[in-house]
Amino acid sequence: MRDLDDDRDRGVRTVANLVGHRAGKVEYLLLMLGTYAMVPVLAALGLLPWWCMLSWLTSPLAFKVAARIMKSTPRDFPDAGVEHTAQLHLLFGVLLVMGLFIG
Protein backbone atom coordinates (compact mmCIF):
# COMPACT_ATOMS: atom_id res chain seq x y z
CA MET A 1 0.00 0.00 0.00
CA ARG A 2 2.90 2.32 0.55
CA ASP A 3 3.72 2.27 -3.17
CA LEU A 4 0.12 2.42 -4.35
CA ASP A 5 0.50 5.56 -6.47
CA ASP A 6 3.93 4.62 -7.82
CA ASP A 7 2.74 1.13 -8.75
CA ARG A 8 -0.33 2.53 -10.47
CA ASP A 9 1.79 5.02 -12.45
CA ARG A 10 4.16 2.23 -13.54
CA GLY A 11 1.35 -0.15 -14.45
CA VAL A 12 2.26 -2.64 -11.73
CA ARG A 13 -0.71 -4.70 -10.62
CA THR A 14 -1.02 -5.45 -6.92
CA VAL A 15 -4.06 -6.40 -4.88
CA ALA A 16 -4.06 -3.03 -3.12
CA ASN A 17 -3.69 -1.29 -6.47
CA LEU A 18 -6.63 -3.16 -7.96
CA VAL A 19 -9.00 -2.75 -5.01
CA GLY A 20 -7.89 0.65 -3.66
CA HIS A 21 -6.53 1.97 -0.39
CA ARG A 22 -9.56 1.24 1.80
CA ALA A 23 -9.91 -2.37 0.66
CA GLY A 24 -6.13 -2.71 0.87
CA LYS A 25 -6.33 -1.79 4.54
CA VAL A 26 -9.00 -4.45 5.04
CA GLU A 27 -6.77 -6.98 3.27
CA TYR A 28 -3.89 -6.00 5.58
CA LEU A 29 -6.05 -6.53 8.66
CA LEU A 30 -7.38 -9.87 7.41
CA LEU A 31 -3.84 -11.11 6.78
CA MET A 32 -2.81 -10.00 10.26
CA LEU A 33 -5.86 -11.62 11.83
CA GLY A 34 -5.28 -14.81 9.86
CA THR A 35 -1.73 -15.02 11.15
CA TYR A 36 -2.87 -14.85 14.76
CA ALA A 37 -5.80 -17.20 14.12
CA MET A 38 -3.66 -19.91 12.57
CA VAL A 39 -1.38 -20.39 15.56
CA PRO A 40 -4.00 -21.94 17.90
CA VAL A 41 -5.59 -23.81 14.98
CA LEU A 42 -2.27 -25.41 14.04
CA ALA A 43 -1.51 -26.11 17.70
CA ALA A 44 -4.91 -27.78 18.16
CA LEU A 45 -4.19 -29.94 15.12
CA GLY A 46 -0.85 -30.95 16.63
CA LEU A 47 1.16 -29.24 13.90
CA LEU A 48 2.66 -26.65 16.25
CA PRO A 49 3.50 -26.93 19.94
CA TRP A 50 1.24 -24.93 22.23
CA TRP A 51 4.31 -22.94 23.24
CA CYS A 52 3.94 -21.13 19.91
CA MET A 53 1.09 -19.23 21.55
CA LEU A 54 3.90 -17.09 22.96
CA SER A 55 3.56 -15.20 19.69
CA TRP A 56 0.21 -13.91 20.92
CA LEU A 57 2.12 -11.75 23.42
CA THR A 58 2.53 -9.37 20.48
CA SER A 59 -1.24 -8.88 20.14
CA PRO A 60 -1.28 -5.51 22.00
CA LEU A 61 1.26 -4.22 19.49
CA ALA A 62 -0.81 -5.69 16.66
CA PHE A 63 -3.88 -3.76 17.85
CA LYS A 64 -1.87 -0.54 17.93
CA VAL A 65 -0.48 -1.15 14.44
CA ALA A 66 -3.93 -2.05 13.11
CA ALA A 67 -5.42 1.14 14.56
CA ARG A 68 -2.69 3.23 12.92
CA ILE A 69 -3.25 1.49 9.60
CA MET A 70 -7.01 2.00 9.70
CA LYS A 71 -6.57 5.72 10.44
CA SER A 72 -3.96 6.18 7.73
CA THR A 73 -4.44 7.86 4.38
CA PRO A 74 -2.56 6.85 1.24
CA ARG A 75 -0.20 9.78 1.77
CA ASP A 76 0.75 8.99 5.38
CA PHE A 77 0.68 5.17 5.19
CA PRO A 78 4.48 4.75 5.13
CA ASP A 79 4.78 6.69 8.36
CA ALA A 80 1.84 4.88 9.90
CA GLY A 81 2.56 1.33 8.92
CA VAL A 82 5.83 0.19 7.44
CA GLU A 83 8.19 0.49 10.40
CA HIS A 84 5.63 -0.68 12.96
CA THR A 85 4.63 -3.63 10.79
CA ALA A 86 8.28 -4.67 10.51
CA GLN A 87 8.67 -4.49 14.30
CA LEU A 88 5.52 -6.57 14.76
CA HIS A 89 6.71 -9.20 12.27
CA LEU A 90 10.09 -9.43 13.98
CA LEU A 91 8.64 -9.83 17.48
CA PHE A 92 5.95 -12.28 16.35
CA GLY A 93 8.53 -14.37 14.50
CA VAL A 94 11.00 -14.42 17.38
CA LEU A 95 8.33 -15.54 19.83
CA LEU A 96 6.98 -18.13 17.39
CA VAL A 97 10.47 -19.59 16.92
CA MET A 98 11.02 -19.56 20.69
CA GLY A 99 7.80 -21.55 21.03
CA LEU A 100 9.04 -24.03 18.45
CA PHE A 101 12.32 -24.52 20.30
CA ILE A 102 10.70 -24.82 23.73
CA GLY A 103 7.99 -27.18 22.47
pLDDT tens figures, 34-70: 999 999 999 999 999 999 999 999 999 999 999 988 8
Residue-range domain boundaries for the chain: 22-102
Q: What is the mean pLDDT of the chain?
A: 86
Residue 42: count other Cβ atoms within 10 Å of its Cβ: 13
Q: What pLDDT does 38 receive?
A: 97
Q: What is the pLDDT of residues 72-101, one digit of tens each?
A: 877 776 666 788 889 999 999 999 999 999
**What distance in Å separates the CA atoms of residue 69 and residue 73, rounded to the nearest whole number?**
8
- pLDDT score for 2: 54
Query: Is the pLDDT reported for residue 32 higher than 80?
Result: yes
Q: What pTM did the predictor assign?
A: 0.80
- Check if the beta carbon of residue 52 is closer than 8 Å to that of residue 36: no
Report the pLDDT value the prediction gives residue 82, as an integer from 0 to 100.
80
DSSP H/E element including 99: helix 83-102
Residue 71 vs residue 95, higher pLDDT: 95
